[in-house]
Amino acid sequence: MIVLGLETSCDETASAVVDAERGILSNIVLSQLEEHRPYGGVVPEIAARSHLTFIDRLITQAMAEAKITFADLDGVAATGGPGLIGGVIVGTMSAKAIALARNIPFLAVNHLEAHALTARLTDRVAFPYLLLLASGGHCQLLAVEGVGTYRRLGSTIDDAVGEAFDKVAKMLGLGYPGGPAIEQAALSGDARRFALPRPMKGKPGCDFSFSGLKTAVRQAAENLPSGPFAPQDLADLAASFQQAVVESIASRVNNALKAFSASHPQGKTLVVAGGVAANRALRGALQELAEQAGLSFVAPPHALCTDNAAMVAWAGIERLRLGLIDPLDFKPRPRWPLEEGLSRSAIPAITMS
Ligand code: KG4
Ligand code: ZN
């Protein structure tokens, strides 16, 4: 079984071919970073136009690198939401066109589901598992019970964690995207220099909050001597912020591990996904927590944690195997909570052939 996947929900145009034996036959990601950098964040209109400009040649390239033709495809999957709607329309329209022309199944993949299932592509992780999804747009803890069955244990009540990294980096003049810049600056910083809050730490439940921490960083920065930031001040502030984020997340994951182990005693794995999963301080803390709880820890390689189309193609394969294909009048969804799972208008594969 071979599936072509397309990802266009944010600022990466991506196309990949994956097979059911977990072979990634091609995986191409075209970042729009340079187009958005002058604005310090993603501009939806620019993103949509760029997806439209590049999607066709990315598909051609992914097919060529995989050394297959459209006749070899068993399905075509595209991110159907949630995300910036202009981009999602470009991806789903392209996938539907191929599905219609080749008379093969179309699969509308929830972007969060694609992140959630990546660990099964890379590490064959068995259901159920506990997932921390930490990206620029999302921060959630989910019990992943099966394809289409996700139970949310907690989510952010304000900013997503990657968004907090990006906003703090912008505040400190470290550029966009902020996560890698803060991690780099923190390497030479003292994480104890600034006493920043650890939002939600020690509180019951698994929800996150980062906006108070962001404000505290702003206040700490304002109290520094005026003028451009001194490199050591910047490094210490970055390190203190990163440490506060890690401790805050660790507290929430710790509660989630307890709740997950009680409700899913057969669960053996803690998985992290999303762009923030690249952060080494966070990975280290999660690894430790998983070990303490007697679970193994899986973090997919960085290139498959950030937005990519291999994860979309793989989610397509998982859904196709269950006959969960989508009609060609599927409407792209700017919002699409994962818990809706199987309740959408999925129809058995047999009616499409
Ligand atoms: O998953 P992703 O590529 O796109 C979304 O779906 O949001 O995540 C991008 C986010 C950005 O906010 C970026 O700053 C953050 O992931 N990020 C990091 C690191 N690398 C990327 N955050 C912390 N540390 C990193 N090393
Ligand atoms: Zn993402």
SS3 270: strand
Cβ atoms of 160 and 135 within 8 Å: the answer is yes
Residue 42: the pLDDT is: 86
* 335 found inside a domain: yes
- The answer on 291 and 172 residing in a single domain is yes
pLDDT in tens for each of the 353 residues of the chain? 999 999 999 989 999 999 999 999 999 999 988 988 888 788 999 999 999 999 999 999 999 999 999 999 999 999 999 999 999 999 999 999 999 999 999 999 999 999 999 999 999 999 999 999 999 989 999 999 999 999 999 999 999 999 999 999 999 999 888 999 999 999 999 999 999 999 999 999 999 999 999 999 999 999 999 888 999 999 999 999 999 999 999 999 999 999 999 999 999 999 999 999 999 999 999 999 999 999 999 999 999 999 999 999 999 999 999 999 999 999 999 999 887 754 444 433 333 32
Any domain includes 223: yes
pLDDT the model gives residue 208: 98
Report residues near ion ligand 2: CB below 5 Å: 135, 307
Looking at residue 20, its pLDDT comes to 98
Are 154 and 185 in the same domain? Answer: yes
Compute the half-sphere exposure of residue 276: CA atoms within 13 Å on the CB side of its CA: 23
pLDDT at position 347, please? Answer: 35
Is the same domain home to 139 and 69?
Answer: no
- Determine whether the shortest distance from the Cβ of 162 to ligand 1 is under 6 A: yes
CB atoms closer than 10 angstroms to residue 43: 17
- The owner of tokens 């591990």 is 257
Nearest CA to ligand 1 atom 13: 179
What's the pLDDT score for residue 338?
85
User: Is there an atom of ligand 1 within 6 Å of 113 CB?
Assistant: no
Residues 58 and 178 in one domain: no
Query: CA dist 289 to 59, 130, 159, 197, 281, Å?
Result: 40, 12, 24, 21, 13
Co-location of 25 and 157 in the same domain: no
Is 270 in the same domain as 327? no
164, 172, 215, 244, 281 from 224: Cα distances, Å: 20, 12, 15, 19, 26
The conformation of residue 223, written as its DSSP 8-state character, comes to: T
Distance 273 CA to ligand 2 centre (A): 9
CATH of the domain at 38: 3.30.420.40
- The alpha carbons of the chain give a radius of gyration, in whole angstroms, of 21
What pLDDT is stored for residue 33 in this prediction? 87
| Ligand 1: residue whose CA is nearest its atom 10 | 136
- Domain check: are 144 and 14 in the same one? no
Closest by Cα among 61, 47, 58 to 11: 47
Report yes or no on 349 lying in a domain: no
How far is it, in rounded angstroms, from Cα 38 to Cα 149? 40
Whole-number Å distance, alpha carbon 241 to ligand 2 midpoint, is 23
C-alpha 209 chain-centroid distance: 18
Residue 341's pLDDT is 54
**Residue 154, domain member (yes or no):** yes
* Residue 338, both tokens: 């994962």
Query: What stretches of the chain show up as alpha helix (H) in DSSP?
Result: 33-36, 44-66, 85-102, 111-123, 161-171, 178-186, 211-222, 231-263, 280-292, 302-305, 310-321
Q: How many domains does the chain have?
A: 2
Between CA 116 and CA 271 the distance in angstroms is: 9
Q: Tell me: do 151 and 259 sit in the same domain.
A: yes
The answer to whether the CB of 165 is under 6 A from ligand 1 is yes
Q: What is the pLDDT of residue 352?
A: 32
Cα gap 226→311, rounded to integer Å: 46
Range of the domain at 65: 2-116+304-340
| Same structural domain, 76 and 137 | no
> What's the pTM value of the predicted model, to 2 decimals?
0.92
Whether residue 315 sits in one domain with residue 214: no
| Shared-domain flag, residues 251 and 103 | no
Contact 279, 242 (CB under 8 A): yes
345 inside domain:
no
